[in-house]
Amino acid sequence: MNFEVKMLKTDVLIIGGGTAGCFAAVTIAEKAPNVSVLIAEKANIKRSGCLAAGVNALNAYITEGETPETYLQYVKEDYENIVREDLVYTMALRLNEVTKKIEDMGLVILKDSNGKYLARGKRNIKINGENIKPILAKAVESKKNIRVLNHVNIIDYIVKGSKVIGAHGFSINSNVFYIIIAKAVICATGGAAGLYRPNNPGFSRHKMWYPPFNVGSGYAMGIRAGCEMTSYEVRFIALRCKDTLAPTGTIAQEVKAEFINSKGEYYEKRYGRPTTYNRVFSTVEEMKAGRGPCYLKTVGISKEDEQRLIKAYLHMAPSQTLKWIDSGRGPSVENVEIEGSEPYIVGGHSASGYWVDTKRQTTLKGLFAAGDVVGGCPHKYVTGCFAEAEIAANSALKYIKDKEFETIDISSIEQKLNEVQRFFTNTSPLYTTEELEEAMQKVMDVYAGGISTGYAYNLKGLQVAKERIDELFTLAQRLRAEDTYQLMKIYELIDRLYVCKVLLHHLEARKETRWRAFQEFVDYPYKDDENFLKYVNSRFENGQVKIIFRSLVKKDEVYEHKD
């Protein structure tokens, strides 16, 4: 492969044109029409990322009677106090305003006869969201100062001293290698799926809840560049409809379905507070005790409710609608079986990701982050990602004021290009990318608390996993690509390996069990408030993961990076 090298310059580079990336771009374009923005997206912004199929609720909204303070309280309780209160609170303050903005862009929000948004619970409102991503993409396309590069996979930042001054990447459907120079960069690449053996490892291996195409590249780029990361040990395991991994919230909230085991018993209350992690944990425990399968009890709902549910899933997870129609047994006659997903790393649901200051700047200057890639701020969902994108966009705008473009060192570019080219010249490797990916997923599953061990892990297993992951790094260097799609697959594997490596160190460092199932350390089975009411952070230095413990940041603090 002979790459054609293209050098581009932009005031602000946004990596990942998903929920947060698109919203950040529009925010900048509206505030500063003279600032140039470039979105580099690995697919096409019209349907990329989490929102590809659509959603049918905005899960983070301050409904009547609630306040940003009560939202923060909920997040704190649900995540056992290990959250960045400053981040959650500053996000919560903006939730309703960004909702108005997306409505103005064209999203249909359901209303009652008085014109009020229809709430679906304490913090959710109902939408007609099949087309939410095309709506966002249209808003992006309407702005003259935003340029979009679709089908470009970004692989690393360009770093000068402790400053990020751009990024490299390559086109997936041509032979162009991009060097993008920017005054500021916003990372919005989402979370990571496919680290662990998935629920359906055979033909339907990619039928997962989180997008299999979000592989944690943003985390990996940050790790390699030496950014501080937080809370990887707070994995997210989704309780979902069996087989399709479709979200269950619509069923649970719309028809008030409760969890039952195979004996028909309502088991949730036996396990303490109904936190997000406890719902997964209790279901796993019921299965282990031989009382599975577990279900959402829907039998007996009206035919109208059934029709509403069948239709609702078309907005978000069409596979579930197909499942009901294909089997000929809808939710009114058959309970919906549930299962826990493979563990994901996703900052929008739990807490893993970049360690940022209150302004959403990472520990490297000029690098901001928003959305699922940012840690410390669980329960963000779509609107929280928008809110964070707005904050990151405003901070980036401030940062670039009076800044000039940096010059780049050509030899570092050549080095990068050689590193990439090598995958085309490697000869007769013994393994394929796919085989190494499966090997990684198996290691994580067996030794680092995957589905097969009921999410539990121990010290010995983590050590084995660390060794195996290091071996896979070596094997990955010998892989061969025939085209740029295969090259992307190699980088996806390498990025996932970096995320796994950091994750394993985090799992080892938190010597307690705080969030059952999500973080189930068999050697330390109890919560230890005395020693672990703190964040586990890390930095990758000279090939080693260095763990840093940090004290909790409170609601009204303005956190700045110091050390």
Partner 1 sequence: MSIRIDRQRCIGCGKCAEICPGNLIVIDEDKKAFIRDPRDCWGCAACVKECTFQAIQYFLGADIGGKGTIMYVKKENNLLYWFFKKPNGEKEVIVQNPNDNTTY
Ligand X SMILES: Cc1cc2nc3c(=O)[nH]c(=O)nc-3n(C[C@H](O)[C@H](O)[C@H](O)COP(=O)(O)OP(=O)(O)OC[C@H]3O[C@@H](n4cnc5c(N)ncnc54)[C@H](O)[C@@H]3O)c2cc1C
Contacts with partner 1, residue ranges (CB under 8 A): 42-44, 46-49, 52-53, 56, 108-111, 126-128, 130-131, 150-151, 172-173, 200, 202-208, 211-213, 243-244, 308, 310-312, 314-315, 318-319, 321-323, 325-327, 485, 488
Binding of ligand X by 131 (CB under 6 A): no
| Cβ 38 vs Cβ 10: under 8 Å | yes
Closest distance of CB 19 from partner 1, Å: 13
Which x/- pattern, by CB under 6 A, does the window 356-375 give for ligand X? ---------------xxx--
Which x/- pattern, by CB under 6 A, does the window 409-438 give for ligand X? ------------------------------
Paired strand residues for 185: 13, 367
Please tell me the distance from the alpha carbon of residue 410 to that of residue 179, in angstroms, as a whole number.
Answer: 11
User: What is each CA distance from 86 to 124, 356, 553, in whole angstroms?
Assistant: 22, 11, 7
Complex with ligand X: residue 40 or 469, whichever CB lies closer: 40
Among partner 1, ligand X, none, what does residue 432 contact (CB within 5–8 Å per kind)? none
Binding of ligand X by 18 (CB under 6 A): yes
Nearest to 150 by CA among 131, 130, 169: 169
Nearest to 221 by CA among 173, 149, 175, 159: 159
Cβ neighbours of residue 384 closer than 8 Å, sequence gap 6 or more:
60, 91, 95, 348, 377
Please tell me the distance from the alpha carbon of residue 253 to that of residue 257, in angstroms, as a whole number.
Answer: 7
Among ligand X, partner 1, none, what does residue 378 contact (CB within 5–8 Å per kind)? none
| Contact positions with ligand X (CB under 6 A) in 203-242 | 209-211, 213-214, 217
Binding of ligand X by 49 (CB under 6 A): yes
Please tell me the distance from the alpha carbon of residue 101 to that of residue 19, in angstroms, as a whole number.
Answer: 13
Among partner 1, ligand X, none, what does residue 243 contact (CB within 5–8 Å per kind)? partner 1
Query: For residue 512, how many other CB atoms are within 10 A of its CB?
Result: 16
Cβ neighbours of residue 294 closer than 8 Å, sequence gap 6 or more:
259, 260, 261, 262, 267, 283, 286, 287, 337, 338, 339
Complex with ligand X: residue 140 or 448, whichever CB lies closer: 140
Please tell me the distance from the alpha carbon of residue 256 to that of residue 276, in angstroms, as a whole number.
Answer: 17
Complex with ligand X: residue 20 or 545, whichever CB lies closer: 20
Among partner 1, ligand X, none, what does residue 21 contact (CB within 5–8 Å per kind)? ligand X
Binding of ligand X by 385 (CB under 6 A): yes
Q: Choose the stretch contacting ligand X; rule: CB under 6 A; options: 80-88, 185-193, 224-232, 457-465.
A: 185-193
The CA-CA-CA angle for residues 514, 246, 281, to 5°, reads 20
Among ligand X, partner 1, none, what does residue 299 contact (CB within 5–8 Å per kind)? none
Complex with ligand X: residue 8 or 456, whichever CB lies closer: 8
Among partner 1, ligand X, none, what does residue 58 contact (CB within 5–8 Å per kind)? ligand X
Residue 45 burial (10 A CB sphere; 0-12, 13-18, 19+): buried
Paired strand residues for 241: 338
Binding of ligand X by 278 (CB under 6 A): no
Q: Which helix (H) or strand (E) holds 536?
A: strand 534-541
Among ligand X, partner 1, none, what does residue 44 contact (CB within 5–8 Å per kind)? partner 1
Among ligand X, partner 1, none, what does residue 162 contact (CB within 5–8 Å per kind)? none
Complex with ligand X: residue 253 or 458, whichever CB lies closer: 253
Binding of ligand X by 154 (CB under 6 A): yes
User: What is each CA distance from 321 to 6, 241, 302, 317, 413, in whole angstroms?
Assistant: 45, 11, 17, 7, 49
List interacting residues with ligand X (CB under 6 A). 15-21, 40-43, 48-51, 55-59, 153-154, 188-190, 209-211, 213-214, 217, 247, 316, 348, 371-373, 380-382, 385
